[in-house]
Amino acid sequence: MIRRRTFFKAGAVAAFGSLLPRIGDAAGIGQPAANARLFEVTTTVDMAAPEAGMQLWLPLFQSAGGYQKLVGVRWESDAAVRVTRDPAFGASVLHARWAKGDAPQKIAVVQRVATWDRAIGDASPPVTSAEREFWTRPSATIPTKGIVRDTARRILGDARDPKAQARAIYDWVVATTWRDPQTAGCGTGDIVTMMRDKKFGGKCVDINALMVGLCRAAGIPAREIYGVRLASSARFKSLGRAGDVTGGQHCRAEIFLEEAGWFPVDPADVRKAVLEEKLPVDSPPIVQLANDLCGSWEGNWGGYNSANGIRLAGAPRSPSFPFLMYPCAMSDKNSPNCLDAGKFAYRIASAEVTA
């Protein structure tokens, strides 16, 4: 029997608004901006090798002040499906489980999300002292002492103003890192190894984790936001995806500044444009892009969550996962490679729609 359910409707996410840390909820951000774009994002999964007890975890889009709002979610599957919320980070995750392994294991999840361009001065939800403390904590892959703290101190020198400190860190990350196309997926975000080995190549998780870790070491709240590209970019072809966005996963970052609230940055996309547009880092188009991506985001992307070391509810082993940006599956015996969409057999399609 195919089960069809609608779990969220507009505004229903507010039921979770009391949980901390608050990344943003429907009650806190009001209606989408006038320039909002509405996307219908369909994730389909067809397990190549069905097994009894196979489980699947899919990240769901968050509603977040300043750049997006989840409008609705529905799914079709013969699996037992529920939506869970990570207790530490508040990330919403769709969890499916198939009891039997003698039939095709499929699911289609359709999300509607409104996004809009984000710029300096846009409204940002207030941040409590508890949230500020939470987003300066170290994590397993983003420590804030040792080589990370020492590197931050060298970068900052005598700078004391948080905005100037954040810009110094951003400029250092842009100048020091490079995009390594051989990195699997979006990288691992192991910033200690990058610093220790002085090998600053990687992809978005690596480069933006470096930004986040250095900011936290300087006492500036910061976080990555794991998501996926949804449409073409007005800036550079390499910074967008449309239609079939499988493999278009991308994380961004934001830092908290008292005078600006949550402040968007994306040094990783600067380095992506350097590589794929074949432009020097000091060329005028890249310098302009670097300035633009220190304080603004293009609304052609949707963010899932900022959970670093997320716990997968019901996982038979290794319940703690570095981050959930890709579909993740696991049985008692196997774990399909979430970075191999072909063998894992999943597809993500994005279509811009009218309300």
CB neighbour list of residue 149: distance below 8 Å, 6 or more residues apart: 217
The predicted pLDDT at position 31 comes to 55
Residues 229 and 268 in one domain: yes
- Residue 124 domain-assigned? no
Residues 199 and 72 in one domain: no
Residue 103 domain boundaries = 3-117+311-353
- Residue 305 domain-assigned? no
Tell me which amino acid residue 126 is.
Answer: P
- Residue 133 domain-assigned? yes
The predicted pLDDT at position 123 comes to 65
The alpha carbon dihedral of 118, 124, 129, 130 has a sign of negative
Q: Answer for the pair 179, 203: CB distance below 8 angstroms, yes or no.
A: yes
Q: Answer for the pair 250, 229: CB distance below 8 angstroms, yes or no.
A: yes
Residue 317: in which H helix or E strand, if any?
none
**Rounded distance between C-alpha atoms, residue 154 and residue 290, angstroms:** 22
The predicted pLDDT at position 202 comes to 97
The predicted pLDDT at position 74 comes to 96
Residues 113 and 189 in one domain: no
**Structure letter (DSSP) for residue 78:** S
Q: 3-state DSSP call for residue 289? A: helix
**Rounded distance between C-alpha atoms, residue 25 and residue 306, angstroms:** 14
Residues 143 and 258 in one domain: yes
The predicted pLDDT at position 196 comes to 96
Q: Which of 298, 323, 339 is the last residue of a domain?
A: 298
Residues 209 and 334 in one domain: no
Average pLDDT across each block of 10 residues of the chain; the chain has 355 residues. List them in order. Answer: 40 30 34 80 92 94 89 95 93 95 92 91 76 92 95 94 96 98 95 96 98 97 97 97 97 91 95 98 98 95 94 83 91 85 90 88
Residues 198 and 159 in one domain: yes
- Residue 167 domain-assigned? yes
Tell me which amino acid residue 250 is.
Answer: H
**Rounded distance between C-alpha atoms, residue 275 and residue 178, angstroms:** 8
Residues 92 and 218 in one domain: no
Residues 20 and 62 in one domain: yes
CATH of the domain at 226: 3.10.620.30
Number of domains in the chain: 2
Residues 240 and 323 in one domain: no
